[in-house]
């Protein structure tokens, strides 16, 4: 007999894990289906070579590009999803990101809801994910109805110098909001040990505020929540009317299993959520479930990101580097009429990690050069918004595989941000060395496979002709189907997406609870 649940959630990452957490108290029977397993705690969690060169935690999935060429996407299938590896920079979108913004390549469209609609859920998400930050330092942020639950993670001396230099130069550096379980006032009792292997690594001591640690693990043992691992959802089936999902088809341990839920929520990540819907085409939905608008899979975004290592003469002994952000170029300035983006720090380089980032250039480089570079580098992460372009899309082939077609947008803004970044180095004591040492910057545009910030394949909106989901993230065309991950983003802004996915999961969770009451 097929088992029936009140709610079935597919995927346990930022969206699905958080949703399960918020629904657990309702007493309703929740089934959480996760294709991955728990990420094993092992020494390799903090081994740069294992993580970056050998790709130990990257899925073996094969996706295909527009030319049908196979590539290995940097996706992570674990309980907790991509948050197991994330840098835990938990930013809110800016209020203006919810409105229409003009970019050099076109328009970043308005969301159907405003920042004020999201604000209470951002506060709740920050509380749940224990975000550390200082309200009021970043001039571009919207109002906060509550302070951050934890004080900002302090800068180490080199970062403090950089922050001071930038402030002196007239910029507005701020402490980056961060979700780690660090108690700086009581380090002996702190779960987080403030180490150098955080951003891009799993946390060996479970001190990162990821979706497994914060949302899913606390539910284990609850009688009304069932977590099934290794459970890959392959297809959703509907009744004849096409209005109701009646069966969730799962492949587990090579076997086909079927589950039923009154409500079904897809939270598999932007590409995989689109894949599930597209692969669930039937007579009532010939182009894929909820895809009468032909929008499922379209508008795929993943940010224009650039990791940049700036070298300085003195050694950079920073351990936990991701403490600083700069949003002075987030919006148009008096010198440039378009938004350029966000600058933040990225995990500290080390020789092994740098080999993994661009093997064709550095894999065979002599060790001493990489070590030297790593010791002296200060590492930044530049993010420019990419636009929701309909032609940038996920499709699936006859075998159900993901094909990803993507062309970048806003390239001029990317260059602009890089130019501004180089200018700000003048204020950080690095430009002098640039001249003195004939300094070089190692910059790497993140390739197609680096889909860490994927979003936008099932955008929400008020018009069923141009959106997949309504403002509650319910599919316009179905009565019991929701999508609650980064798929719902109509635009992506230029800050990291996870907090918005978490806040939205809490928001939709509240709606689902009211619906079930
Ligand atoms: C290295 C790295 C660093 C990052 N750093 C940051 C950061 O600092 N700040 C930030 O905001 N964001 C960061 N991100 C991005 C952030 O992790 C994602 O935006 C966020 O996790 C997306 O949430 P989601 O729910 O959409 O997808 P995910 O968190 O990826 O969850 C999707 C889940 O669905 C599961 N799944 C997929 N297909 C199926 C299926 N068919 N059946 C069942 N289960 C399925 C997956 O295994 C996964 O558990 C980073 C990501 C990476 C990879
Ligand atoms: S810095 Fe803290 S949260 Fe990050 S990996 Fe180290 S112990 Fe874990």
Q: What is the pLDDT of residues 394-438, one digit of tens each?
A: 999 999 999 999 999 999 999 999 999 989 988 887 754 443 332
Distance (Å) of CA 497 to CA 102, 103, 108, 137, 197: 20, 19, 15, 20, 21
- CB 357 near ligand 1, within 6 Å: no
Binned at pLDDT 50, 70 and 90, residue 310 comes out as: confident
- CB 488 near ligand 1, within 6 Å: no
Cα angle 194, 320, 427; round to 5: 150
User: Where do we find the tokens 């600083």?
Assistant: 324
Ligand nearest to the CA of 202: 2
Report residue 421: phi and psi, to 5°.
-60, -45
Q: What is the pLDDT of residues 325-368, one digit of tens each?
A: 999 999 999 999 999 999 999 988 777 766 655 434 444 345 54
Instruction: Give the distance (Å) from ligand 2 centre to CA of residue 180.
Output: 7
Instruction: Give the distance (Å) from ligand 2 centre to CA of residue 375.
Output: 20
Rounded Cα gap, residues 149 and 154, in angstroms: 15
Q: Given this model, what pLDDT does residue 431 score?
A: 58
For the chain, the average pLDDT equals: 93
- CB 85 near ligand 1, within 6 Å: yes
Q: What is the pLDDT of residues 429-473, one digit of tens each?
A: 775 444 333 234 455 566 777 899 999 999 999 999 999 999 999
Q: Given this model, what pLDDT does residue 290 score?
A: 98
Structure tokens at 158: 């080199």
Of 154, 208, 212, 213, best ligand 2 pocket probe by most atoms within 8 Å of the beta carbon: 208
Pairing state between β 245-252 and 231-238: antiparallel
Structure tokens at 94: 């800016």
Structure tokens at 1: 């007999």
Q: Taking the mean position of all CA atoms in its chain, how far away is CA 322?
A: 16
Q: How many Cα atoms are found within 13 Å in the side-chain-facing hemisphere of 286?
A: 1
Listed in sequence order, the residues at least 6 apart from 67 whose beta carbon sits closer than 8 Å to its beta carbon are: none
Helix (H, G, I), strand (E, B) or coil at 108: strand
Q: Given this model, what pLDDT does residue 445 score?
A: 66
- CB 501 near ligand 1, within 6 Å: yes
Across the chain, which distance is largest between two alpha carbons, in Å?
74
281 burial (CB, 10 Å; 0-12 / 13-18 / 19+) is middle
Instruction: Give the distance (Å) from ligand 2 centre to CA of residue 94.
Output: 27
Rounded Cα gap, residues 81 and 38, in angstroms: 10
Binned at pLDDT 50, 70 and 90, residue 377 comes out as: confident
Pairing state between β 3-10 and 30-34: parallel
Binned at pLDDT 50, 70 and 90, residue 371 comes out as: confident
Listed in sequence order, the residues at least 6 apart from 108 whose beta carbon sits closer than 8 Å to its beta carbon are: 97, 100, 101, 102, 385, 387, 388, 491, 493
Between 104-118, 344-358, 379-393, 493-507, the lowest mean confidence (pLDDT) is in 344-358
Rounded Cα gap, residues 217 and 262, in angstroms: 24
pLDDT-above-90 percentage for the chain: 84
Look at the chain and count its residues.
517
User: Is the full-model pTM beyond 0.85?
Assistant: yes
Q: Given this model, what pLDDT does residue 315 score?
A: 86
- Best CA proximity match to 93, nearest among 333, 445, 338, 453: 453
Q: What is the pLDDT of residues 198-245, one digit of tens each?
A: 999 999 999 999 999 999 999 999 999 999 999 999 999 999 999 999
Taking only Cα atoms into account, the Rg of the chain, rounded to an integer number of angstroms, comes to 22
Q: Given this model, what pLDDT does residue 351 score?
A: 75
Rounded Cα gap, residues 324 and 393, in angstroms: 33
Pairing state between β 255-266 and 481-483: parallel
Cα angle 426, 428, 432; round to 5: 55
**Higher pLDDT, residue 300 or 375:** 300
Average pLDDT over residues 270-287: 98
DSSP character string of 78-92 = BTTGGGGT---B-PP
């Amino acid at each position: 007999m097929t088992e029936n649940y009140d709610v079935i959630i597919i995927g346990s990452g930022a969206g699905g894990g958080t949703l399960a957490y918020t629904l657990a108290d309702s007493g309703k029977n929740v089934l959480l289906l996760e294709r991955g397993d728990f990420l094993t705690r092992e020494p390799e969690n903090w081994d740069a070579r294992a993580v970056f060169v050998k790709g130990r935690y990257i899925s073996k999935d094969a996706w295909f590009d527009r030319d049908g060429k196979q590539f290995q996407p940097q996706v992570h299938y674990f309980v907790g999803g991509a948050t197991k590896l994330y840098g835990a920079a938990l930013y809110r979108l800016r209020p203006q990101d919810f409105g229409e913004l003009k970019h050099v390549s076109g328009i970043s469209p308005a969301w159907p809801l405003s920042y004020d609609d999201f604000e209470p859920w951002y506060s709740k998400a920050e509380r749940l994910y224990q975000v550390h930050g200082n309200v009021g330092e970043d001039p571009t942020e919207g109002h906060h109805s509550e302070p951050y639950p934890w004080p900002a993670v302090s800068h180490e001396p080199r970062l403090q110098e950089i922050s001071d230099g930038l402030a002196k130069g007239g910029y507005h550096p701020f402490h980056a909001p961060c979700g780690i379980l660090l108690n700086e006032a009581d380090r002996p009792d702190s779960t987080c040990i403030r180490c150098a292997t955080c951003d891009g690594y799993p946390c060996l001591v479970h001190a990162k505020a990821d979706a497994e640690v914060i949302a899913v693990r606390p539910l284990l043992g609850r009688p009304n929540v069932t977590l099934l691992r290794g459970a890959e959802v392959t297809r959703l089936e509907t009744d004849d009317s096409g209005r109701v999902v009646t069966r969730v088809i799962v492949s587990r341990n090579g076997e086909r299993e079927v589950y039923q839920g009154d409500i079904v929520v897809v939270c598999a990540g932007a590409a995989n959520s689109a894949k599930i819907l597209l692969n669930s085409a039937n007579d009532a939905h010939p182009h894929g479930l909820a895809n009468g608008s032909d929008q499922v899979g379209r508008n795929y975004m993943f940010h224009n990101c650039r990791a940049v290592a700036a070298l300085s003469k003195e050694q950079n002994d920073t351990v936990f580097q991701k403490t600083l952000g700069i949003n002075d170029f987030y919006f148009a300035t008096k010198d440039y009429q378009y938004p350029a983006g966000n600058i933040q720090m990225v995990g500290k380089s080390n020789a092994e990690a740098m080999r993994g980032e661009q093997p064709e250039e550095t894999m065979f480089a002599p060790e001493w050069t990489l070590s030297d570079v790593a010791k002296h580098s200060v590492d930044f992460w530049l993010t420019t918004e990419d636009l929701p372009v309909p032609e940038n899309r996920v499709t699936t082939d006859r075998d159900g595989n993901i094909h990803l077609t993507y062309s970048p947008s806003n390239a001029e803004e990317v260059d602009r941000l890089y130019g501004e970044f180089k200018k700000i180095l003048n204020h950080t004591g690095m430009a002098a060395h640039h001249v003195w040492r004939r300094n070089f910057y190692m910059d790497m545009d993140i390739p197609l496979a680096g889909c860490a910030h994927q979003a936008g394949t099932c955008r929400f909106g008020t018009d069923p002709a141009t959106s997949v989901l309504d403002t509650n993230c319910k599919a316009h065309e179905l009565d019991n189907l929701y999508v609650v991950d980064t798929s719902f983003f109509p635009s992506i802004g230029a800050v990291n997406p996870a907090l918005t996915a978490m806040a939205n999961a809490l928001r939709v969770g509240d709606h689902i609870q009211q619906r079930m009451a």
